[in-house]
Amino acid sequence: MTKIVIKIGGSLAIDEAKLEDFLRGFAQITALPHIKVALVHGGGKDINENIALLQEEVNFINGLRVTTPGIMKMVEMTLSGHVNKKLVRMLLAMQCPAVGISGVDGQIFSADKLKAEVDLGQVGDIHSVNPQLIQDLWQSGWTPVVSPISYGAEMPFNVNADTAASELAVALQADQFILVSDVPGVLDGEKNVIGELDAPKIATLIDQQIITGGMIPKVQASLDSIERGLKSIHIVGWHSPEHLRQQITGEENHGSIIR
């Protein structure tokens, strides 16, 4: 059995036509024999729209949303409610047996308050992952769609969706962890996608300032996940259902694969 975790973000969360196209391809993948897939999502655009209703100022520090109790309620309602059920509804209409859950369910993600120089409120740091519910759903023929809202003993926590997806992939010992966003992959000095990467190559590219900015923590986190047991991480842009199928089956690489 091939175990795959896919995380979606970027314009897929904004462009309805692109999202529908992706979900069609995703549904086709779940129908392939011997492949089990879990989908992890964020939902920044929808969160921003709903938080605007609170008339509360939104602040980001180092890319993380400062999450007050009022904002946390809206974040959880949006991600685990509206966004999650929208994705499930669309997948069911495509004959994909999807079921929507969050990291709170079955304590998939257990988190503590993230320790930082500035108080970020209810932003969490995942300290343990329990993949049993995902495995049970797979065993029963369901495809999990997972919101990154995480369990805390006294309160839920808002966790970065990339981080949550990566932690789930590690816990499942996934064969592939696929990040689908607006970034086509890791780019070289000529802005061409680098097909294959490993730790020495990444270190060299960072030293040469070819890998810069937000891609640095992304590839460094990827290497950490590889060291913890992941077999491969794919950083890809969205093209078509056919490209997604080729990426997963190994027929063709349309992004950057870190091994």
Q: Which of 18, 21, 44, 85 is catalytic?
A: 44
Q: Measured at the alpha carbon of residue 128, what is the angle toward residues 12 and 27, in degrees to the nearest 5?
A: 30
- For residues 215 and 197, what is the distance between their CA atoms, to the nearest angstrom? 13
Which of 46, 100, 124, 162 is catalytic? The answer is: 162
Residue 251: inside a domain, yes or no?
no
Confidence bin at 14 (pLDDT 50/70/90):
confident
Is 254 a domain residue?
Answer: no
Percent of the chain with pLDDT over 70: 98
pLDDT of 191: 87
User: Residue range 1-26: average pLDDT?
Assistant: 89
**Cα–Cα distance measured from residue 6 to residue 179, given in angstroms and rounded to the nearest whole number:** 6
Q: Which CATH number covers residue 100?
A: 3.40.1160.10
Give the span between the Cα atoms of 244 and 259, in whole angstroms: 18
Which residues fall within 8 angstroms of residue 252, CB to CB, at 6 or more apart?
A: 243, 246
Given this model, what pLDDT does residue 120 score?
A: 85
Q: Residue 223's pLDDT band (boundaries 50, 70, 90)? A: confident
User: What is the C-alpha separation between 166 and 158, in angstroms, rounded?
Assistant: 15
Residue 222 lies in a domain: no
Whole-angstrom CA distances from 137 to 29, 49, 248 are 17, 32, 21
Q: Which pLDDT band, with edges at 50, 70 and 90, does 63 fall under?
A: confident
Q: Is 72 helix (H, G, I), strand (E, B) or coil?
A: helix
> Is the residue at 164 inside a domain?
yes
User: Where is mean pLDDT largest: 91-100, 186-195, 208-217?
Assistant: 91-100
pLDDT bin (cut points 50, 70, 90) of residue 166 is very high
Which residue is catalytic, options 42, 124, 185, 218? 218
Q: Is 100 assigned a catalytic role?
A: no
pLDDT of 165 strictly over 90: yes
Asked if the structure places residue 197 within a domain, the reply is no
14-36 average pLDDT score: 92
Mean of per-residue pLDDT scores for the chain: 90
Residues paired with 124 in a beta bridge: 113
Joined together, the tokens standing for residue 124 give: 């969490």
Residue 80 tokens, joined: 């685990």
Report long-range pairs for 134-143 (Cβ below 8 Å, ≥24 apart). 134/38, 134/108, 134/168, 134/172, 135/172, 137/99, 137/101, 138/36, 138/38, 141/97, 142/97, 142/98, 142/99, 143/30, 143/37, 143/38, 143/39, 143/91, 143/96, 143/97, 143/98, 143/99
Helix (H, G, I), strand (E, B) or coil at 145: strand
Query: Which residue type sits at 18?
Result: K
User: Is residue 183 pLDDT above 90, yes or no?
Assistant: no
Q: Is the pLDDT of residue 253 over 90?
A: yes
pLDDT band at 231 (very low <50, low <70, confident <90, very high): confident
Name the band, by pLDDT with cuts 50, 70 and 90, for residue 21: very high
> Is 8 exposed, middle or buried (CB count within 10 Å of its CB: 0-12, 13-18, 19+)?
buried
Residue 181 has pLDDT above 90, yes or no: no
Q: How far is CA 99 from the centre of its chain?
A: 17
Cβ atoms of 4 and 109 within 8 Å: the answer is no
- Res. 174 pLDDT band, cuts 50 70 90: very high
Where is 247: in which H helix or E strand?
A: helix 241-249
Full domain range(s) for residue 105: 2-181+237-246
Integer Cα distance of 173 and 148 in angstroms: 18
115 as an active site residue: the answer is: no
Q: Which residues contact 19 (CB under 8 A, 6 or more apart)?
A: 12, 13, 90
Q: Is residue 15 part of a domain?
A: yes
User: Is residue 209, in this structure, part of any structural domain at all?
Assistant: no
Question: pLDDT tens digits for 104-156?
Answer: 999 999 999 998 888 888 999 999 999 999 999 999 999 999 999 999 999 99
> What residue type is assigned to position 203 of the chain?
A
Average pLDDT of the segment spanning 59-70: 80
Q: Is 175 tagged catalytic?
A: no
- Could you give the number of structural domains in the chain? 1
Examine the residue annotation and report whether 218 is marked as an active-site residue of this protein. yes
- Asked about 214 being catalytic, the answer comes back as no
User: Is 129 inside any structural domain?
Assistant: yes
For the ranges 13-22, 190-199, 218-227, the lowest mean pLDDT is seen at: 218-227
Q: Which tokens sit at 6?
A: 């896919």
Question: Contact 243/234 with Cβ under 8 angstroms?
Answer: no
